[in-house]
């Protein structure tokens, strides 16, 4: 390596000198220094390196002194040292350098020993260079040798160290191995422990999850049980969780069978839940007590529908407590109590005090006007019920899905089975809350009714009550307290009404007809009586139109085509009102006839009957009564026809002949009987003829007393028709040979109507048809 | 009218005010159908005669106010007069309905109004409604004539069709708005019984929380102006006179 670099350093130059000096010897033939030297020698000496070498060389010889003994000594070992140097130069530069240094130091005395004559140094050098150099080399080599010997010694020591170290290393290794072995089990243990730790951690997580899922946090428990946390968002959320825990637990246990933990959890949450329900119950109870009382002073107003509203929390609480019906029921009972007393107070205020500023006026202000008074009370109740119902519906969150509400007036189904549970709660509540009001209502209605003397007003009140009875049946159901009360009241009013008209009927029966009154028309008391009936029937008629609406379908559903209760009612009214009038007409008239035979009782009765019938004429629903009157009229008409016929027969003078004719023995000829002898017959026929030209053929003074003109002509015509028939029979008998009239045709043809039936009919204005 | 429709749809759980209305007018003018449209958003087919008095309710929104309306539908027939008269007590609003195709129903209005004025609270707000506006061909009462009548009698007026639903919400909202303005002006006190109006829970809670009764939009100066402007459109004889 050094040889390849440009030889600027003194050392290299010196080496080059050594190399060139030793190159001729076979031993040093390959010595690079020699080679180099040769090369240098073979070249010119002008260049810088050559000059340098030469300078060195000259120094070598110039400075040497005589010390040849040493040189020889050193020379002896040259070969060996050279080898040593060669083999070591590559290993260690320091060694080589050290060696070179020593070589250099020792060169001085060697060279001086060789160069004996300094003046002739060059010649000397030329002669001895090789040997000098060899000697020098040998000296150096010996130095090398001794140095290397030391190195060798050191290396041996080093070797020993190394051996020791190796032994120690082996030992350490063994120890390490042993330790390693020992550690392995530790590591295994650690691994196991780690795994265990992971498992435990997982279990911990699961447990935490489980705990958070299956147990309530202390906050939640507080929310559920503490009296300081009012029902609200937090409370309801905790409740939801508790319920879920219980459900989940049940599900788990239904799969895995009961476990202690499960049972414990269920027990704990159940107890918390029960406390929560109790809390809801307490909350509702106090809220319900507050509703409409105390906290809002203006609620004690006369307005039946003054603010009543359920807050969202209240609704939620009610919804939750529906899981504990008995608690809800108790809470609602409290609500019902407060509502009852509040409603009662407001109702009484509305009745007696009116609004604070006097408006609206107290209902009792109109107590003198029974219809308005009772109507106002009932309307107030109706409105209170509507408000109450709305409140309950909002409390139970009913009908949230529709835009509006069902019309309260519209029919509602009240069958228990088909009604939802909530409907049932609501229905019961509304019923209970307003039920208490029926007391004061009943009291006032009955007082009003009792002081009523006018049957017609009683009847109107009765109808009003029935109208509201129907409305209430649709609104709060048939079994509701108020419906029941209304039924009772309407029964009472019915009774008052019927009592009144019955009393009036009885009074009418005591009526004696004025004996001196010759009139044949119904007397004033009867007319007044019947006018009242007319009024009653008009009220009935207008109220009956109520039924013709939707109720008809409802009611006919119950008892098919039979009459509605109101129809039974009106028949009773007709009986109670018409019968006494009829009675008076018949019996009182009979009595009068006895004392005043001249008084035409039959015409009076017929006039009375037709009057009564006339009153009922315009009422379709009175048909039954009308028909029974018609039958009586028919009888009376027939009776009158009979009487009239005989009267007429007497007037015509034919009566005796006809009696004989009708009574005769068939075997005896008519002409042989006294009254029918030709002369007598002729006289009778003459009288008949003159009667025919009289006024009474067309007009009966008696029948003219009949108020119904139609009956006059009907009776008269019927009597005349009979007259025609009997005249016809007379003619036939006279013409029969068996009756032995000699000039039958002459006898009959002597006087009008000349035995001609059609002529007689013409005179009477009767139709010509044969019967 | 569009903003009325937008305002009045929601069904609400709580409300600020509760108002009682009575619906009156001759039988057959479409009172029940009008109410049905208002509460059910549909035409009531085969409408039967109202018997006496029927109840329904609906909550509407006016600005920020939620108002629960209690609606009392009455029978127009004479024979029910004595019954229905009792329901004027404490009504805050009256919707007086006639049938634009039936002159008779218009001619009888004075009688109905007299009843209402005599029996209801002095603050009663009356809205005259000419119903069946869909039957233009058979019209017997002109809009202008009815509008004049309304102005003379100091009532609001508009026409509706309970068949098509056209304008049906307007009378109810107009009435409510008018009542709210009376409350605001102090002439009507919901705390007083018999006024036909009371505070709802929502208003009460607001009172409790702020210890000051806020009328919200209606108190605000800006909104108040809006309301008045809108009301003006409906006051007969002022605007819209060229309508129809
Ligand atoms: N064309 C038309 N018919 C209507 C309208 N409103 C109601 N009717 C009809 O008028 C009749 C009476 O309606 P109803 O609501 O019972 O009248 P009410 O007696 O005032 O309650 C019914 O036959 C309805 O179908 C309407 O806006 N347009
Ligand atoms: Mg109706």
Average of per-residue pLDDT across A84-96: 46
Q: How many CB pairs under 8 A join A and B?
A: 142
Please state the ipTM of this predicted complex.
0.78
Q: Ligand 1, closest atom to CA B161?
A: 27
Which of these, B189, B171, B167, lies nearest to B180 by C-alpha position? Answer: B189
Contact B48 A550 (CB under 8 A): yes
Q: Cα distance from B54 to chain A (closest Cα, Å)?
A: 5
- The least confident of A554-558, A683-687, B61-65, B112-116 is A554-558
Predicted confidence (pLDDT) per residue in B127-162, tens digit: 999 999 999 999 999 999 999 999 999 999 999 999
Q: Pick A103 or A429 by higher pLDDT.
A: A429
Q: How far is the CA of B175 from the centre of ligand 1 (A)?
A: 21
Predicted confidence (pLDDT) per residue in A395-448, tens digit: 888 764 433 344 333 444 444 444 578 888 888 999 999 999 999 999 999 999
- List alpha helices for B20-168, DSSP H: 31-40, 81-85, 103-107, 109-119, 143-152
The pLDDT value recorded for residue B178 is: 95
Does B33 sit in the ligand 1 pocket, CB within 6 Å? yes
Q: Counting ligands in written order, which one lies closest to the CA of residue B43?
A: 1
- Give the integer Cα–Cα distance in Å for A614 and A527: 11
- Give the integer Cα–Cα distance in Å for A310 and B143: 43
- B2-239 placed in CATH 3.40.50.300: yes
Q: Which of A298-307, A526-535, A596-605, B94-103 has the highest mean pLDDT?
A: B94-103
Mutating to test ligand 1, I would choose from B22, B29, B30, B160 the residue with most ligand atoms within 8 A of its C-beta, which is: B30
Mean pLDDT of chain B: 78
Contact A550 B51 (CB under 8 A): yes
Q: Are strands B197-199 and B17-24 parallel, antiparallel or unpaired?
A: antiparallel
The pLDDT value recorded for residue A480 is: 92
Please, is B115 exposed, middle or buried when counting C-beta atoms within 10 Å of its C-beta (0-12, 13-18, 19+)? middle
- The least confident of A462-476, A502-516, B138-152, B189-203 is B189-203
Please, is A484 exposed, middle or buried when counting C-beta atoms within 10 Å of its C-beta (0-12, 13-18, 19+)? middle
Sign, Cα dihedral of A420, A425, A431, A433: negative
Contact A464 B83 (CB under 8 A): yes
Percent of chain A scoring above 90 in pLDDT: 28
Q: Ligand 1, closest atom to CA B27?
A: 19
- List alpha helices for A419-510, DSSP H: 421-435, 438-450, 455-476, 481-509
User: Which residues of chain B make contact with A404, given a CB cutoff of 8 A?
Assistant: 38-40, 56-58
Contact A301 B90 (CB under 8 A): no
The pLDDT value recorded for residue A353 is: 83
Q: Which of A59-68, A81-90, B100-109 has the highest mean pLDDT?
A: B100-109
Q: How far is the CA of A392 from the centre of ligand 2 (A)?
A: 26
Mutating to test ligand 1, I would choose from B33, B75, B76, B166 the residue with most ligand atoms within 8 A of its C-beta, which is: B33
SS3 of A427-447: HHHHHHHHHCCHHHHHHHHHH
Residue A460 has pLDDT above 70, yes or no: yes
**Residue of B14, B51, B67 best to disrupt the A interface, most CBs of A under 10 A:** B51
User: What does R_g of chain A's alpha carbons equal in angstroms?
Assistant: 77
Q: Cα distance from B105 to chain A (closest Cα, Å)?
A: 21
Q: Ligand 1, closest atom to CA B76?
A: 19
Q: What is the pTM of this model?
A: 0.69
The pLDDT value recorded for residue B222 is: 33
The secondary structure element, H or E, covering residue A685 is: helix A678-692
Tell me how far CA of residue A405 lies from CA of A201, A448, A559, B58, in angstroms. Answer: 59, 36, 31, 7
Contact B201 A372 (CB under 8 A): no
pLDDT confidence bin for A39, thresholds 50/70/90: confident
- Give the integer Cα–Cα distance in Å for A300 and A316: 26
Residue A589 has pLDDT above 90, yes or no: no
- The least confident of A7-11, A143-147, A344-348 is A7-11
Q: Cα distance from A280 to chain B (closest Cα, Å)?
A: 21
Does B32 sit in the ligand 1 pocket, CB within 6 Å? yes
Does B7 sit in the ligand 1 pocket, CB within 6 Å? no
The pLDDT value recorded for residue B28 is: 94
Q: Cα distance from A338 to chain B (closest Cα, Å)?
A: 18
The pLDDT value recorded for residue A483 is: 93
Tokens of B161: 């069709």
Does B27 sit in the ligand 1 pocket, CB within 6 Å? yes
Contact A305 B41 (CB under 8 A): no
| Beta-bridge partners for B94 | B22, B126
The pLDDT value recorded for residue A210 is: 79
Residue A683 has pLDDT above 80, yes or no: yes
Domain range summary for chain A, segments of one domain joined by + = 5-162, 299-493, 511-625, 653-770
Predicted confidence (pLDDT) per residue in A528-551, tens digit: 999 999 999 988 887 765 544 433
User: Which residues of chain B make contact with A355, given a CB cutoff of 8 A?
Assistant: 192-194
Distance of CA A721 to the CA centre of its chain: 83
Residue A22 has pLDDT above 70, yes or no: no
The secondary structure element, H or E, covering residue B70 is: strand B65-74
The pLDDT value recorded for residue B194 is: 65
- The least confident of A131-140, A503-512, B105-114 is A131-140
pLDDT confidence bin for A52, thresholds 50/70/90: confident
User: Which residues of chain A make contact with B33, given a CB cutoff of 8 A?
Assistant: none
Tell me how far CA of residue A24 lies from CA of A27, A100, A131, A342, A498, in angstroms. Answer: 8, 21, 10, 148, 178
Which residues are within 8 A (CB) of A174 and not within 5 positions of it... i.e. 6 or more apart?
none
Tell me how far CA of residue A25 lies from CA of A34, A79, A227, A343, B66, in angstroms. Answer: 9, 12, 124, 150, 132
Q: Using CB atoms, which residue from B55, B121, B199 is nearest to A407?
A: B55
Average of per-residue pLDDT across A37-44: 69
Average of per-residue pLDDT across A107-131: 60
Contact B58 A355 (CB under 8 A): no
The pLDDT value recorded for residue A642 is: 94
Contact A253, A262 (CB under 8 A): yes
Contact B50, B123 (CB under 8 A): no
- The least confident of A63-72, A564-573, A753-762 is A63-72
Q: Using CB atoms, which residue from B48, B194, B196 is nearest to A549?
A: B48
Average of per-residue pLDDT across A660-672: 86
Mean pLDDT of chain A: 79
Q: Ligand 1, closest atom to CA B36?
A: 15
The pLDDT value recorded for residue B243 is: 35
Average of per-residue pLDDT across A585-604: 88
User: Which residues of chain A make contact with B48, given a CB cutoff of 8 A?
Assistant: 549-550
Q: How far is the CA of B36 from the centre of ligand 1 (A)?
A: 10
Half-sphere exposure of A112 (CA within 13 A, CB side): 11
**Residue of B16, B70, B90, B193 best to disrupt the A interface, most CBs of A under 10 A:** B193
Average of per-residue pLDDT across A635-647: 93
Predicted confidence (pLDDT) per residue in A256-315, tens digit: 777 787 888 888 888 888 989 999 999 999 888 887 553 333 333 434 444 566 778 888
| Residue B45: strand, helix, or coil | coil
Contact A302 B41 (CB under 8 A): no
Inform me whether the C-beta atom of residue B206 falls under 8 Å from chain A C-beta atoms. Answer: no
The pLDDT value recorded for residue B114 is: 95
Q: Using CB atoms, which residue from A355, A378, A549 is nearest to B194?
A: A355
The pLDDT value recorded for residue B169 is: 95
Contact B40 A404 (CB under 8 A): yes
Predicted confidence (pLDDT) per residue in A164-213, tens digit: 999 999 999 999 999 888 889 889 999 999 999 999 999 888 888 877 77
User: Which residues of chain B make contact with A471, given a CB cutoff of 8 A?
Assistant: 51-53
Residue A254 has pLDDT above 80, yes or no: yes
The neighbour count for residue B134, using CB atoms within 10 Å, is: 16
Q: How far is the CA of A412 from the centre of ligand 1 (A)?
A: 23
Which residues are within 8 A (CB) of A519 and not within 5 positions of it... i.e. 6 or more apart?
none
Domain range summary for chain B, segments of one domain joined by + = 2-239
- Give the integer Cα–Cα distance in Å for A334 and A285: 6
Does B204 sit in the ligand 1 pocket, CB within 6 Å? no
pLDDT confidence bin for A356, thresholds 50/70/90: low
Residue A84 has pLDDT above 70, yes or no: no
User: Which residues of chain B make contact with A301, given a CB cutoff of 8 A?
Assistant: 192-194, 198
The pLDDT value recorded for residue B33 is: 95
Contact B73 A407 (CB under 8 A): yes
Residue B218 has pLDDT above 50, yes or no: no
- Give the integer Cα–Cα distance in Å for B54 and A683: 85
| Beta-bridge partners for B130 | B98, B159
Q: Ligand 1, closest atom to CA B44?
A: 25
Does B36 sit in the ligand 1 pocket, CB within 6 Å? no
The pLDDT value recorded for residue A262 is: 80
pLDDT confidence bin for A518, thresholds 50/70/90: confident
């Amino acid at each position: 390596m050094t040889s390849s670099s440009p030889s600027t350093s003194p050392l290299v130059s010196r080496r080059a000198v050594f190399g060139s000096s030793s190159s001729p010897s076979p031993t040093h033939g390959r010595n690079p220094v020699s080679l180099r030297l040769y090369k240098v020698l073979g070249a010119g000496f002008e260049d810088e390196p050559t000059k340098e070498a030469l300078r060195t060389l000259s120094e070598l010889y110039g400075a040497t002194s005589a010390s040849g003994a040493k040189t020889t000594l050193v020379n002896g070992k040259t070969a060996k040292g050279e080898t040593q140097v060669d083999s070591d130069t590559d290993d260690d530069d320091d060694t080589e350098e050290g060696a070179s240094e020593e070589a250099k130091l020792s060169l001085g005395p060697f060279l001086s020993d060789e160069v004996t004559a300094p003046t002739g140094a060059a010649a000397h050098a030329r002669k001895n260079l090789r040997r000098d150099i060899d000697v020098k080399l040998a000296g150096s080599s010996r130095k090398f040798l001794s140095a290397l010997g030391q190195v060798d010694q050191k290396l041996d020591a080093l070797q020993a160290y190394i051996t020791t170290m190796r032994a120690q290393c082996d030992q350490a290794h063994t120890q390490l191995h042993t330790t390693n072995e020992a550690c392995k089990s530790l590591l295994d243990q650690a691994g196991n422990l780690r795994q265990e730790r992971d498992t435990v951690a997982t279990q911990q997580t699961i447990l935490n999850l489980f705990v958070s899922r299956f147990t309530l946090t202390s906050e939640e428990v507080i929310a559920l049980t503490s009296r300081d946390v009012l029902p609200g968002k937090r409370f309801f959320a905790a409740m939801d969780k508790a319920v879920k825990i219980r459900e989940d637990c049940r599900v788990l246990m239904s799969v895995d069978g009961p476990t202690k933990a499960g049972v414990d959890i269920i027990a704990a949450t159940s107890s918390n839940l029960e406390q929560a329900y109790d809390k809801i119950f307490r909350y509702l109870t106090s809220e319900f007590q507050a509703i409409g009382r105390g906290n809002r002073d203006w609620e004690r107003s006369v307005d039946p529908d003054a603010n009543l509203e359920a807050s969202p929390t209240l609704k939620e609480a009610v919804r939750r407590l529906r899981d504990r019906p008995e608690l809800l029921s108790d809470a609602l009972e409290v609500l019902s109590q407060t509502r009852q007393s509040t409603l009662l107070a407001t109702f009484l205020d509305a009745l007696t005090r009116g609004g604070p500023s006097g408006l609206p006026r107290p209902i009792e202000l109109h107590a003198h006007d029974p219809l308005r008074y009772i109507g106002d009370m009932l309307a107030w109740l109706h409105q209170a019920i509507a408000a109450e119902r709305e409140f309950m519906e909002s409390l139970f969150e009913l009908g949230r899905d529709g835009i509006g509400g069902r019309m309260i007036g519209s029919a509602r189904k009240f069958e228990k089975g088909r009604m939802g549970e909530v409907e049932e709660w609501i229905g019961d509540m509304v019923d209970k809350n307003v039920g208490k009001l029926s007391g004061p209502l009943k009291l006032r209605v009955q007082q009003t009714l009792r002081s009523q003397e006018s049957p017609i007003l009683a009847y109107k009140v009765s109808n009003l009550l029935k109208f509201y009875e129907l409305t209430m049946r649709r609104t709060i159901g048939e079994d509701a307290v108020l419906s029941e009360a209304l039924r009772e009241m309407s029964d009472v009013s019915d009774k008052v009404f019927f009592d009144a008209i019955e009393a009036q009927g009885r009074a009418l029966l005591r009526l004696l007809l004025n004996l001196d009154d010759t009139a044949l028309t119904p007397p004033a008391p009867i007319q007044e009586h019947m006018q009242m009936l007319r009024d009653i029937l008009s009220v009935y008629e207008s109220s009956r139109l109520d039924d013709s609406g939707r109720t008809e379908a409802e009611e006919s559903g119950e008892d098919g085509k039979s009459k509605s209760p109101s129809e039974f009612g009106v028949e009773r009214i007709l009986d109670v009102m018409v019968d006494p009038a009829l009675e008076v007409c018949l019996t009182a008239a009979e009595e009068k006839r006895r004392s005043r035979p001249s008084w035409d009782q039959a015409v009076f009765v017929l006039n009375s009957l037709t009057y009564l019938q006339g009153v009922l004429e315009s009422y379709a629903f009175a048909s039954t009564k009308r028909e029974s009157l018609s039958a009586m009229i028919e009888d009376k008409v027939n009776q009158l026809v009979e009487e009239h016929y005989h009267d007429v027969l007497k007037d015509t003078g034919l009566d005796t002949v006809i009696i004989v004719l009708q009574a005769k023995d068939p075997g005896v000829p008519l002409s042989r009987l006294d009254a029918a002898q030709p002369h007598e017959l002729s006289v009778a026929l003459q009288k008949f003829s003159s009667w025919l030209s009289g006024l009474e053929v067309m007009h009966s003074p008696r029948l003219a007393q009949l108020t119904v003109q139609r009956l006059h002509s009907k009776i008269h015509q019927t009597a005349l028709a009979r007259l025609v028939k009997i005249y016809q029979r007379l003619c036939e008998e006279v013409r029969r040979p068996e009756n032995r009239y000699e000039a039958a045709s002459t006898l009959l043809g002597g006087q009008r109507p000349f035995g001609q039936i059609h002529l007689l009919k013409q005179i009477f204005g009767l139709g010509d048809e044969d019967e | 009218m569009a903003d009325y429709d937008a305002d009045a749809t929601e069904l609400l759980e709580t409300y600020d005010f509760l108002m009682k209305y009575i619906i009156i007018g001759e039988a057959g003018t479409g009172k029940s159908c009008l109410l049905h449209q208002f509460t059910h958003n549909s035409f009531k087919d085969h409408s039967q005669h109202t018997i006496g008095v029927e109840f329904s309710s609906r909550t509407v929104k006016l600005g920020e106010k939620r108002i629960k309306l209690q609606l009392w539908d009455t029978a127009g027939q004479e024979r029910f007069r004595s019954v229905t008269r009792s329901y004027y007590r404490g009504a805050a609003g009256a919707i007086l309905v006639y049938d634009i195709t039936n002159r008779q129903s218009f001619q009888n209005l004075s009688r109905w109004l007299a009843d209402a004025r005599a029996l209801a609270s002095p603050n009663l707000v009356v809205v005259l409604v000419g119903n069946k506006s869909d039957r233009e061909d058979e019209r017997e009462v002109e809009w202008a004539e009815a509008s004049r009548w309304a102005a003379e009698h100091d009532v609001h007026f508009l026409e509706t069709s309970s068949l098509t639903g056209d304008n049906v919400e307007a009378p109810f909202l107009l009435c409510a708005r008018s009542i709210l303005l009376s409350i605001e002006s102090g002439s009507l006190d919901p705390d007083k019984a018999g006024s036909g109006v009371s505070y709802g829970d929502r208003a009460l809670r607001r009172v409790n929380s702020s210890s000051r009764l806020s009328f919200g939009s209606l108190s605000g100066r800006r909104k108040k102006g809006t309301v008045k402007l809108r009301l003006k459109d409906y006051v007969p004889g002022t605007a819209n006179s060229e309508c129809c």
